[in-house]
Amino acid sequence: MKQNIYDNNEFFQKYQALRARENNYNRLLEQPNFQALVPDLMERNVLDIGCGSGDFAAFCLSKGASNVKGIDISQNMITAAEEKYSHARLQFEQVAFEDAEVIEGSIDFISSSLAFHYFADFDALIKKISTALCTNGTLLFSMEHPIVTANKEMDSWICDTQGNYLYYALDNYHEEGYRTQTWLVDGVVMYHRTLSTIINTLVINGLQIEKILEPIPTLEATRKLPSIAKEIRRPSFLIIRAKKLPNYI
């Protein structure tokens, strides 16, 4: 079953409040690193999977893409995106990627920011992406780091009695599958995959690894949000850029 937690109104309101904060992990850490890996988009055809309220899709448009389509399973998100951005070369559609129609070899750049950990079938996801990409097309995605999703508790920092972070408690790394977590509301489902599963799934589907980032906060980010310094001790995110190989069938 495809999860559509962003159409849970309590979740959505809390999520929008979190994202509206000037200093959050997305703005300070994930997006700067993600955007730094965006290839040349001039005259390119772009698909953004899990587009949320459309900020990254609009960013791609600003980089000269000829067409950008943002899709999201959540009608709340698509409505927010359509209210925020309107442009002839930018479309939004409420659809799960699993159900979206894609034309083989039609897309130059597929992006997805912090959505892949919601997909139940990672192999099917990557296979469909590889089919949709043209030769030498690029996939760029970020997801929760396997070190984080491994645990059956979302936040596994162990603190002393004064609230100082002692270390991060890691467990269950090779137990792939869903994790039911409390993040804003109870019962948010994410899927844990090991690093080797993630990389090998890309490779067997003809996607060549070009770059991996485990983002580190800048000093400026740490000044704005001191708690983000923990990322140096244990990364929250994994960002991967991969290229569709020629001659891959």
Binding site for its own copies (CB under 8 A): 147, 156, 158, 166-175, 194-196, 199-200, 203, 208-214, 216, 231-235
**Rounded least distance, CB 196 to its own copies, Å:** 4
**Rounded least distance, CB 147 to its own copies, Å:** 7
**Rounded least distance, CB 210 to its own copies, Å:** 6
> How many CB atoms neighbour CB 245 within 10 A?
15
Whether 111 and 141 have beta carbons less than 8 Å apart is answered as: yes
For 203, the 3-state DSSP assignment is: helix
Comparison of 137 and 235: residue with beta carbon closer to its own copies: 235
Comparison of 53 and 151: residue with beta carbon closer to its own copies: 151
**Rounded least distance, CB 18 to its own copies, Å:** 24
Comparison of 64 and 167: residue with beta carbon closer to its own copies: 167
Q: Give dist(CA 9, CA 56) in Å, integer.
A: 23
Comparison of 31 and 53: residue with beta carbon closer to its own copies: 31
Whether 240 and 140 have beta carbons less than 8 Å apart is answered as: yes
**Tokens describing residue 29:** 């850490």
Comparison of 83 and 175: residue with beta carbon closer to its own copies: 175
Which are the contacts of 35, defined by CB distance < 8 A and separation ≥ 6? 56, 59
Q: Give dist(CA 77, CA 101) in Å, integer.
A: 20
Residue for token digits 């979206």?
A: 100
Alpha carbon 155 to chain centroid, angstroms? 18
**Rounded least distance, CB 122 to its own copies, Å:** 15
